[in-house]
Amino acid sequence: MGSVTYDNIAELVTNDPTQGDESFLGLRHDAAVVVDDGVVAWIGEAGQASPTDERVDLEGRCVLPAFVDSHTHLVFDGDRAEEFAARMAGQPYAAGGIRTTVAATRAASAEALLASATKRLTEARSQGTGLVEIKSGYGLDVATEVKMLQVAQQLTDETTFLGAHVVPTEFADDHRGYVDLVTGDMLDACAPYAKWIDVFVEDGAFDAEAAREILLAGQAKGLGLRVHANQLRPGPGVQLACDLGAASADHCTHLTDGDVAALADSGTVASLVPGADFSTRSPVYPDGRRLWDAGAAVALATDCNPGTSYTTSMPFVIALAVRECHLTPSEAVWAATSGAARSLRRDDAGRIAVDDPAALTVDPAALTVVDAKTHVHLAYRPAVPLAQVLGEPAP
Ligand code: NIG
Ligand code: FE
């Protein structure tokens, strides 16, 4: 692999206050980074690195840890453009739309699913994303849930079993039977391919009691916990996630003061996915400001899926989080990198550091370059393709 110096970085975001200034972004100005055999080996002043095999002049751009997209549904088949258009014409969003994608995903081959998910992942990387989480949940039968996770596993280590996305049509009159399947044969078949288990806690999906049972069954199989919580209305999802010590409560659009306090007092990360609020034309967005000020750890993710958030763009999510969730540009960048890595309990992503084996990232997708002199441009110049993983072809 050899050694390479990335030189003339106007602003380096390390997310480690000990590596830069004392801000939470750990900023360094006029910097250089040496990557040796895929490991960050040195951080210092521009022009001061010892000679390396290669030198890349970044000409005053900004470098940050690659975005971590900690909530995606990248594996699916079918298209719901008509549903989106109807929504923009006034129809409300309902969780049941998921079943449209289930029919298409059941019918698709693993090869076709891998090809389309790979295309979406390439799209994400060309916008600066280095690590993704991918959920199942558009199978809702044993064979298709396994098929989705086997495909997802070819693209990431961060795979999530979401058999409890909604109750499929064939179990419409037997919700109990579906919970038994999810916690029984489906979990047995899926657990070998998953690191996490997730449940959609919502009217029209799963109530708190069923969700607790499903999450505990997954935990007993060694899976970490994540929860789709408080997306469409206030509900028990966030409290359940915090009670069970879940790594992440995702959406968090409708929170009570008690929910905010529970997140602030727990190790559960509040993962905001404002792309979903945008595409469902939600009247409210998650209140990132309130969460951050209360001391909760905040993450940002795309929730890329064909129903409620068909975007792979973390810069778009950052811009939305600044405009609509009232995070500052710096907070939003932290949430899209360090916060999201924390929601996956990953020490080796979301920051750039030397002399710390856990942060010595070996994935070439560890660093993202922004074609601007500061990270603020990610929100300041929305929809402009400024960010890409270092070494990726231009978008
Ligand atoms: O995260 N909230 C549940 N799941 C997805 C929606 C999926 C769909 O509508 O297809 C979400 O927004
Ligand atoms: Fe989701």
Query: Angle at the Cα of 349 (from 344 to 355), degrees rounded to 5?
Result: 135
Output the ligand 1 site: residues, CB below 6 A. Answer: 97-98, 101, 200, 228, 231, 276, 303, 305-309
199, 303, 311, 317: residue to mutate for ligand 1 pocket, most atoms within 8 A of CB: 303
Distance CA 314, CA 68 (A): 8
Distance CA 332, CA 349 (A): 16
For 305-347, the pLDDT digits (tens) are 999 999 999 999 999 999 999 999 999 999 999 999 999 999 8
Contact status, residue 276 vs residue 308, Cβ threshold 8 Å: yes
281, 302, 305, 309: residue to mutate for ligand 1 pocket, most atoms within 8 A of CB: 305
Which domains occur in the chain, in start order? 3-66+351-389 (2.30.40.10), 67-343 (3.20.20.140)
Amino acid 377: pLDDT: 98
Record the tokens describing residue 198, joined without a space.
Answer: 């997730």
Strands (E) in the chain, as ranges, are: 3-13, 27-36, 39-45, 54-65, 67-69, 129-135, 158-164, 196-201, 224-229, 248-251, 269-272, 298-300, 367-370, 387-389
Amino acid 392: pLDDT: 54
The pTM of this model reads: 0.96
Token pair 């521009």 is found at: 46
Instruction: Compute the distance from residue 306 Cα to the ligand 2 centre, in Å.
Output: 10
Amino acid 195: pLDDT: 98
Burial class (CB in 10 A: 0-12, 13-18, 19+), 81: exposed
For 147-163, the pLDDT digits (tens) are 999 999 999 999 999 99
Distance CA 300, CA 270 (A): 8
CA-proximal residue: ligand 1, atom 12 (nearest): 308
Please state the φ and ψ torsions of residue 12, each to the nearest 5 degrees. Answer: -110, 120
- Please identify, by atom number, the ligand 1 atom nearest to the C-alpha of residue 303: 1
Ligand nearest to the CA of 308: 1
Instruction: Compute the distance from residue 222 Cα to the ligand 1 centre, in Å.
Output: 25
Instruction: Compute the distance from residue 324 Cα to the ligand 1 centre, in Å.
Output: 20
Q: Which residues of the chain have pLDDT under 50?
A: 360, 362, 364, 393-395
Ligand nearest to the CA of 134: 2
Instruction: Compute the distance from residue 317 Cα to the ligand 2 centre, in Å.
Output: 14
76, 102, 162, 165: residue to mutate for ligand 1 pocket, most atoms within 8 A of CB: 165
Instruction: Compute the distance from residue 395 Cα to the ligand 2 centre, in Å.
Output: 26
DSSP string, 125-136: HTTTEEEEEEE-
Neighbours of 184 (CB within 10 A): 12
Instruction: Compute the distance from residue 85 Cα to the ligand 2 centre, in Å.
Output: 20
Token pair 């940050």 is found at: 64
Distance CA 159, CA 151 (A): 10
For 299-313, the pLDDT digits (tens) are 999 999 999 999 999
- Please identify, by atom number, the ligand 1 atom nearest to the C-alpha of residue 251: 1
Amino acid 361: pLDDT: 53
Instruction: Compute the distance from residue 15 Cα to the ligand 2 centre, in Å.
Output: 26
